[in-house]
Amino acid sequence: MTTVNVLSGGAAQGLVRSLSEPFKALTGFGVDGEFGAVGMMADKLRAGTAADLVILTQALLAKLAEEKLVILSSITDVGRVETALAVRSRDPKVSVKTEADLREVLRSADAIFVPDTKASTAGQHVAKVLDQLGIAYEVASRLKIFPNGATAMRELAASAATRPIGCTQATEIIATEGIALSGALPPSCELVTMYTAGVTTRAAHPQEAATLIALLTGADRKELRQRMGFAG
**124, 181: one domain:** yes
Task: Count other Cβ atoms within 10 Å, centred on residue 207.
Answer: 12
CATH number at residue 133: 3.40.190.10
Helix (H, G, I), strand (E, B) or coil at 167: strand
- 232 domain residue, yes or no: no
Beta strands 76-88 and 192-199: pairing type? antiparallel
**31, 68: one domain:** yes
**113, 33: one domain:** no
Nearest to 230 by CA among 192, 198, 197: 192
pLDDT tens over the chain, length 232 residues: 799 999 999 889 999 999 999 999 999 999 999 998 888 999 999 999 999 999 999 999 999 999 999 999 999 999 999 999 999 999 999 989 999 999 999 999 999 999 999 988 899 999 999 999 999 999 999 999 999 999 999 999 999 999 999 999 999 999 999 999 998 999 999 999 999 999 999 999 999 999 999 999 999 999 999 999 998 7
87 class by beta-carbon count within 10 Å (0-12 exposed, 13-18 middle, 19+ buried): buried
The CA distance from 121 to 188, in Å, is 17
Q: What's the pLDDT at 232?
A: 75
- 111 domain residue, yes or no: yes
Beta bridge partners of 115: 146
Q: Is 199 left (phi over 0), alpha (psi -120 to 50) or beta?
A: beta
Question: What is the count of structural domains for the chain?
Answer: 2
The string of pLDDT tens digits covering residues 110-138 is 999 999 999 888 999 999 999 999 999 99
